[in-house]
């Protein structure tokens, strides 16, 4: 279905937004990304229609300010930021095409989004999962789940990237997938991940499904695994192990954090995650308390040993020593 058919607003805006979405498709932006932009376009389009902005020349700074005032009361900060990014992209493109006055994108501001801790598996969670996957079971679902878990951890891939891989790509040592934003990246997995992958494929045998990761069900047969399927796998695993629930997003943060604790360089970690700059790594790497304490303890070498000795407990003052002289 063409996402442009879901747009709202005055006719001129719907035509403009539809052309921009088609431009994004030609740029090979991911379908999910293009679909995500439809919601902010619908919001602005509905607002323009309610405000009677029937002429593109009437879309000016004052109008954009009023629309953003509405956003403050209707959506959260993170959603507001997504809306602002989408509309800025539309306005820049429309200005370049000569269809809107230049500079409008500069008037769309992204709010300050409160920082949040990276989503990372705690060490006890990771240990519990690793212990579960030590079994030598041969059933397909178990082998698939085990292979997928370590594929995601060792590759630091988003679940959307991992689910793109097809069987025809398996003769390679790496796999090229389309990542968030539309660019390409190469997925690399560890030796153990590759061994577990081969065990899963051996148990799977031959079937008609092209996807590497499949859903196995008595009614639906075999089909390509979805993001929802994967998160259900981890939810079931957490219930069985009695650990805090996690999703596929946690595995990417876990990979980044563990790679950092192995003292890999930020540049290497950024490359592995598919980031173009080091700032993005900060969203995924968690400084665990144990390592934080070890880091600050490393400063103690600056203190002379005598000064670093444990101070004597305070009590009653000692009497002065008697002189042995005459």
What are the pLDDT digits (tens) for 149-158? 999 999 889 9
Once rounded to an integer, what is the mean pLDDT over residues 224-237? 95
Per-residue pLDDT at 264:
81
Once rounded to an integer, what is the mean pLDDT over residues 236-264? 91
Nearest 10 degrees: Cα torsion 137, 142, 143, 146: -110
Kindly report the pTM of this predicted structure.
0.63
pLDDT for residue 282 is more than 70: no
Q: For the chain, which residues make up each domain, given as ranges?
A: 3-107, 123-283
Radius of gyration of the chain from its Cα atoms, rounded to whole angstroms = 28
What are the pLDDT digits (tens) for 63-93? 999 999 999 999 888 899 999 999 999 999 9
What are the pLDDT digits (tens) for 182-195? 678 888 889 899 88
Per-residue pLDDT at 300:
59
Angle at the Cα of 75 from the Cα atoms of 69 and 81, rounded to 5 degrees: 80
Q: d(Cα 52, Cα 293) in Å, to the nearest integer? A: 60
Chain mean pLDDT for the chain: 85
Under CATH, to which class is 123-283 assigned?
A: mainly alpha
Per-residue pLDDT at 247:
95
What are the pLDDT digits (tens) for 89-142? 999 999 999 999 999 999 999 887 666 678 899 989 999 999 999 888 889 999
Q: Which two tokens stand for residue 94?
A: 């429309």
What percent of the chain lies above the pLDDT cut of 90?
Answer: 52
Closest CA to 91 of 123, 111, 67, 73: 67
Of 219 and 17, more confident: 17
What are the pLDDT digits (tens) for 298-321? 755 666 676 555 555 555 555 555
Closest CA to 272 of 189, 156, 161, 160: 156
Q: State residue 177 phi and psi, 5-degree precision.
A: -130, 160
Question: Which residues in 78-116 are b (16+ Cβ under 10 Å) and which e?
Answer: ebbbbbbebbbbbbbbbbeeeebeeebbeebeebeeeee
pLDDT for residue 3 is more than 80: no
Per-residue pLDDT at 267:
83
What percent of the chain lies above the pLDDT cut of 70?
Answer: 81
Per-residue pLDDT at 326:
37
Q: d(Cα 240, Cα 249) in Å, to the nearest integer? A: 20
């Amino acid at each position: 279905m063409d996402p442009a058919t879901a747009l709202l607003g005055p006719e001129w805006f719907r035509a403009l937004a539809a052309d921009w979405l088609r431009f994004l498709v030609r740029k090979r932006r991911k379908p999910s990304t293009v679909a995500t932009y439809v919601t902010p376009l619908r919001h602005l389009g509905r607002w323009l229609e309610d405000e009677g902005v029937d002429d593109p020349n009437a879309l000016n700074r004052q109008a954009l300010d009023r629309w953003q005032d509405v956003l403050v009361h209707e959506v959260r900060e993170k959603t507001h930021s997504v809306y602002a990014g989408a509309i800025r992209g539309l306005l820049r493109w429309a200005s370049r095409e000569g269809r809107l006055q230049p500079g409008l994108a500069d008037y769309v501001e992204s709010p300050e989004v409160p920082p949040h801790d990276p989503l990372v598996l705690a060490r006890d969670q990771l240990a519990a999962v690793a212990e579960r996957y030590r079994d030598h079971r041969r059933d397909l679902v178990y082998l698939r789940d085990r292979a997928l878990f370590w594929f995601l951890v060792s590759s630091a891939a988003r679940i959307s990237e991992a689910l793109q891989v097809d069987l025809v790509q398996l003769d390679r040592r790496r796999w090229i997938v389309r990542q968030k934003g539309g660019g390409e990246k190469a997925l690399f997995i560890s030796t153990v991940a590759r061994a577990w992958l081969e065990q899963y494929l051996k148990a799977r045998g031959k079937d008609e499904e092209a996807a590497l990761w499949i859903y196995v069900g008595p009614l639906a047969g075999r089909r390509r695994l979805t993001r929802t399927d994967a998160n259900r796998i981890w939810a079931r695993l957490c219930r069985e192990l009695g650990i805090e629930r996690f999703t596929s997003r946690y595995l990417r943060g876990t990979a980044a954090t563990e790679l950092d604790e192995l003292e890999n360089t930020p540049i290497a970690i950024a490359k592995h995650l598919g980031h173009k700059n080091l700032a993005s790594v900060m969203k995924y790497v968690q400084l665990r308390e144990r390592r934080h304490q070890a880091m600050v303890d490393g400063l103690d070498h600056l203190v002379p040993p005598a000064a670093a000795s444990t101070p004597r407990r305070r009590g009653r003052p000692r009497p002065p020593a008697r002189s042995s002289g005459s």
